[in-house]
Chain A
Amino acid sequence: MRKTTRRDIFKFAAGSAAGLVFTPAPWRLITDTALWSENWPGIPRPARGQTRTRFTHCALCSAGCAVRARCVNDQPVSLSGLAGSPLCAFGLAGHQLPYHTGRVKTGAIEEALAAIAQRRSHDAVAVLDLRPGRTASWTYRRAMAALPRGFYLAAQSAIPAVNLDQVRTLLSFGAPVLDGWGTPSTVLAARSHFRLIQAEPLESHTAMLADLWLPLRKGSEQALALGIAHVLMQEQNAGASFPAEATAYSPARTAQLTGLPEAQIVSVARELAPGGALVLASQEWPEILQLNRLLGSVAHTIVGRRETPVPASWKKAAPVTAIEAVPDGSIGVLLIDESVCDGYLPWNAIEPKLAPAPLVVTFASSRAGYGRYARFTLPTAVYPEMTDDIPPALDSAAATFRLATPLVAAPAGAVEPARFIAQLAGLPPADALRERTDAIQSSGRGVLRTYADGKSIPVKGVKPDDFWKVLNEGGCWVDAPDPVEPPASACQSSSAAVVAMTWEMRLARGPMSPLLSKLYEESNLRVRL
């Protein structure tokens, strides 16, 4: 036999290589790599399955827009509004919130319970509610009434309604009127019949879209309010209710302070016809509140609203205490419900009220809020996992009752703040929402709207069980129109209605869908944030 030489090996290798090209193998391999590039590991494949439409209400803000959810295998894959009631950018991505990477998923629930139990008998306990007016808020008030020393603190005072239909001129001091204030559908529907004047140093979205933008100097909002009041007092002789200091703000001086032309200040003041004007602000400036009073907005554009019925047995509830009214250094245990958020109290307003070594427990889905001051952060369900009701929107003159029902299950370990606090205070275990809806139904007031068929039927003819069912499956209760005079306190509390939370505040408070942050990062739409 011939000996195999190195050359033979080379020949064999070269021959094999050449021969391989004529087999299907390399071509198959090329096709396979291309296929592989389509199904790259890590590219998720969307689940397929039964598609279903479900309804709920968006719990992200108190506008509480109706939501039509497209669900595949009970998982919402997209949200949209109903005809004539669109969702905002926040709401459209709401179904992604449960998957936020910054979400708080675990908390020391048992330890928190034990720690509270230890202190509640001898310490004052307070609940801070960031969305007052809910059924849960009633539970907190009842729970605080059951405790020896309980306070119920609300981040906002009782909210009167804004009747946008009556507004002819809207003067906004930096309030994001067209950018997250009120209910989008209501604001946009009313937009065609009011003139919007935006006084704001920066060109915000609302400033861009306003009929008139007053680019005043930063921090000169109050000066402008006083300057306008000055003109109004002089021209309408209506200065009785206004502070004397306005007299010092002549148009000339106001122009100097704000950097706006004198003639413009006068003309803006003249545009604010009494009765059809509304003044909004991004902060609680008393001057601006008084401007509303001066213009007679209260009872015209700022109106009172009846309360949504509550069971008679709930009347034994703690009053709403203003944070200023709480004695300094008194609160030993502070429980904060951050699961939903419409307004908030700055920590420097809360801190002096706390006793030494306070126990702060916050119920939240993110640590972006009060979490950094709290000993315990207990995880909560987020929209759209939670079961909660949404207080009437500030631009709804009628009382409403709407439920945010879960579209997906809350993770194990999530705490229901209302149930937790009720248990803590020893309230009898009951489904508060069901009790409330029964109370509404038995009042016989108003109509029940069903989203699936778009019908409205009087509550009178609806059975309690059906009423409950409709509210859970997509519907809302709207009170009968019953214009009542605004309560005497409305002037005082109307600040809540006219102070609007801006995007900056919202973003600072809670997480938003990662997709939403992406879109704002990757476009320069919100570059001014």
Chain B
Amino acid sequence: MTGKRYGMSIDIDRCTGCGACMVACAVENNVPPAPEGATDRKGITWMRVFPVDNGRDGPDRKSVFVPMLCQQCGQDAPCVSVCPQQAVQVDPATGIVGQMPERCLGCRYCMAACPYHARYFNWWDPAWPAGMEKTLNPNVAPRMRGVVEKCNFCHGRWHAAKERAVGRGAREIDPADYVPACVEACPTAAIRFGDLNDPRSPVAQAAQQSGSFRLLEKLGTEPKIYYHSAREWVREIGRAPAGKEQVHG
């Protein structure tokens, strides 16, 4: 076992909030279009870009975009231990926190457990406009209603890369063969992907650079998504919320 530890680095300073990662992700992973009544609270967005500001108004106001996805916790992922039927498991070979929709009961305990709100429930039956089901990616099975799903670093692509490696007679997959859809689509190369255990990988290097931070680090979940910003106030978003706001959201 080589024991890879796949992770991502996201440079917030480079993100333009175009949403290409979201679209590429949804296309790759066969996420159905929104049914009537879907809102930002009931939708399925494995990758979701949040506009975040510094809370000020006028000329002092500053905003950035923060792409959010499953943070692929590396240490006792909160969602793994809570699942009553082992539908959430960490692959020891890749470190990827996987979700098995065929095993999922839909109790949503994992969603309640996730501090990053990176898990999504299929509130509706998956449905595509007539004909659009032809555009589905054959490497990813569409999920049924009533189960939870989330980012799995494009497991279908990992599988394809593995097959290619086997075809070549290689033991390891070629890093160029395995790139998640969002990474590939990002026009500014703000998202990078690779093996954190490989010190030469750009991701491992990005994780070490100054200005790199993770979300809610103090929870001790050891996320494998590293964010980066040269700006101090942006790095603050990794901390716990301050209850400044006194109004309902």
Contacts and interface: CB of A to CB of B under 8 A. Distances in A.
Q: When A and B assemble into the complex, do they touch directly, with CB atoms less than 8 Å apart?
A: yes
Interface string A518-529: 111111111100
Given A93-B23, A514-B129, A80 B185 contact: yes
Contact of A525 (B49, B137, B141): B49
Contact of A523 (B48, B125, B130): B48
Contacts of A208: 17, 51, 63-65
B133 interface: yes
A198 to B, nearest CB: 12
B19 A185 contact: no
A256 B36 CA distance: 46
Contact of A518 (B33, B137, B185): B33
Interface in A501-529: 513-527
Interface stretch (A34-42, A224-232, A359-367): A34-42
A523 B43 CA distance: 8
Interface string B37-50: 01110111100111
A519 B129 contact: no
Which among A76, A178, A215, A513 has the greatest number of chain B C-beta atoms within 10 A? Answer: A513
Interface in B118-168: 125-138, 140-146
B30 interface: yes
B75 interface: no
A87 interface: yes
B73 interface: no
B81 interface: no
Contacts of A100: 129
A205 interface: yes
Contact of B19 (A45, A96, A525): A525
B138 A72 contact: yes
Given A92-B27, A525-B51, A47 B16 contact: no
B29 to A, nearest CB: 11
Interface residues on B, range: 35 or more
Nearest to A523: B48
Nearest to A521: B34
Do most interface residues of chain B lie in helix, strand or loop, or is the interface mixed? loop
A77 interface: yes
Contact of A43 (B34, B49, B134, B142): B142
B45 A46 contact: no
Contacts of A39: 144
A522 B39 contact: yes
A188 interface: yes
Contact of B184 (A38, A43, A80, A523): A80
Which among A75, A98, A215, A522 has the greatest number of chain B C-beta atoms within 10 A? Answer: A522
Given A77-B138, A101-B129, A523-B22, A517 B49 contact: no
B16 A179 contact: yes
Interface in B3-61: 16-20, 22-24, 26-28, 30-34, 38-40, 42-45, 48-51, 58-59, 61
A101 B24 CA distance: 21
A40 B124 CA distance: 12
A99 B102 CA distance: 28
Contact of A44 (B27, B65, B142, B188): B142
Nearest to A526: B19
B164 to A, nearest CB: 12
Contacts of B28: 78
A515 B61 contact: no
A79 B185 CA distance: 10
B97 to A, nearest CB: 21
Interface in A458-495: none
12 contacts: A37-B146, A43-B125, A44-B128, A46-B133, A46-B136, A87-B187, A184-B18, A208-B64, A518-B32, A522-B48, A523-B19, A525-B50
Interface of B: 16-20, 22-24, 26-28, 30-34, 38-40, 42-45, 48-51, 58-59, 61, 63-65, 102, 125-138, 140-146, 181, 184-188
